[in-house]
Structure 1
Amino acid sequence: MSFTLTAFVRSTDLQGKGASRRLRKQNLIPAIVYGKGEPVSISIKNNELVRALEEDAFFTSPITLTLENGNETVTIKALQRHPSKGVPLHVDFVRA
């Protein structure tokens, strides 16, 4: 099973706790892609991520992130959720 998510690269002024909170108000989830090469801070649409999280295979399958400068194949490394609401707060992806 393959998954594709649309991601947007965040600039350096859109990083940190305050910027992440502003992103979440816009229905975007902050995330990071690391591994081979430089780490890249991204944001993902909340509804796309929640829909993908409903599938158990999402946690072990390769995921294609569609970025402005090309595609990245990644796997999910860590997912942070709100303690009581269960909504995703942050995602860590590692390059495959």
Structure 2
Amino acid sequence: MSSEKIVAEKRTEFGKGAARRIRRENKIPAVVYGHGADPIHLSLPGHATMMALKNHGANALLELDIEGKIQLAMTKQVQVDDVRRVIEHVDFVAVRAGEKVTVDIPVHVVGDAISGTMVVTDANTLTVETEATHVPEGIEISVEGLEAGTQILAGAVELPKGTTLVTDPEALVVNITEAQINEEPADGEAAEGEAAEAAEAEATDGE
């Protein structure tokens, strides 16, 4: 995972009013926790931060330039406005190169199981331990050619080098089942059946 450099400003004003003023300046309020130090409250450039988080995913690693000092920080939580879909606040955790972190990695299912099956993803993420500067952006699981009844457990998923599984190895990640066949008649067929029944009933009444 590559990191992206963002120039940050320390902030001394807090509360909702201060946060609104920061956002009006097209900036994003943020805070960095970790390593036993006091939280560092920051203001980040809005567009650059949004693009960095968009490009690098849920566990984006940023180089925060705080008054000339570089602090590696990993995204912990991003608060987004439900209506305007803009970032309102970001929580980071301070990390160091070579340091191990525990993160949730998205699961991406690729390939096609055999015809007549349905692929069910039971776990959208896997929790792993890995180096902060080498966090995988995602884990691919191939279902190419797999048959119904196949189950892929967390312990069977191939992880990148240097990454250790934290999720229970027996946890179900992907389940291949037989596709459900809809045996209900199509609308046209149902209408024809109803018409035939009505005609038969009318003929019976006439007798």
Per the TM superposition, whether the score is higher than 0.5 is yes
Corresponding position of 2:9? 8
Contiguous gaps of at least 5 residues in structure 1: none
User: SS of the counterpart of 1:54?
Assistant: helix
Corresponding position of 2:25? 26
Number of aligned positions between the proteins: 93
User: SS of the counterpart of 2:85?
Assistant: coil
- Contact 2:53–2:60, Cα closer than 8 Å, also in 1: no
**Alignment-mate amino acid for residue 5 of structure 2:** T
Deviations 1:4-42 (A, max 9, x none): 11110001xx11000000110011110000111111110
- TM-score (normalised: structure 2): 0.43
| Larger strand share, 1 or 2 | 1
Residue 101 (structure 2) pairs with residue 64 (structure 1) = no
Structure 2 Cα separation of the partners of residues 61 and 24 of structure 1? 21
Q: Which has the larger radius of gyration?
A: 2
Q: Once the 2 structures are TM-superposed, how far is the Cα of residue 80 of structure 1 from its aligned partner?
A: 0.2
User: SS of the counterpart of 2:18?
Assistant: helix
User: Relative contact order: is structure 1 or structure 2 higher (C-alpha 8 Å, sep ≥ 6)?
Assistant: 1
- Contact 1:66–1:72, Cα closer than 8 Å, also in 2: yes
**Cα separation, partners in 2 of 1:22 and 1:61, compared to 1, 3 Å:** closer
**Alignment-mate amino acid for residue 11 of structure 2:** R
Corresponding position of 1:45? 45
- Contact 2:59–2:76, Cα closer than 8 Å, also in 1: no
Structure 2 Cα separation of the partners of residues 24 and 61 of structure 1? 21
Contiguous gaps of at least 5 residues in structure 2: 96-207
- Contact 1:60–1:76, Cα closer than 8 Å, also in 2: yes
Identical amino acids, percent of aligned pairs: 33
Aligned-CA RMSD value: 1.2
**Alignment-mate amino acid for residue 42 of structure 2:** I
- TM-score (normalised: structure 1): 0.89
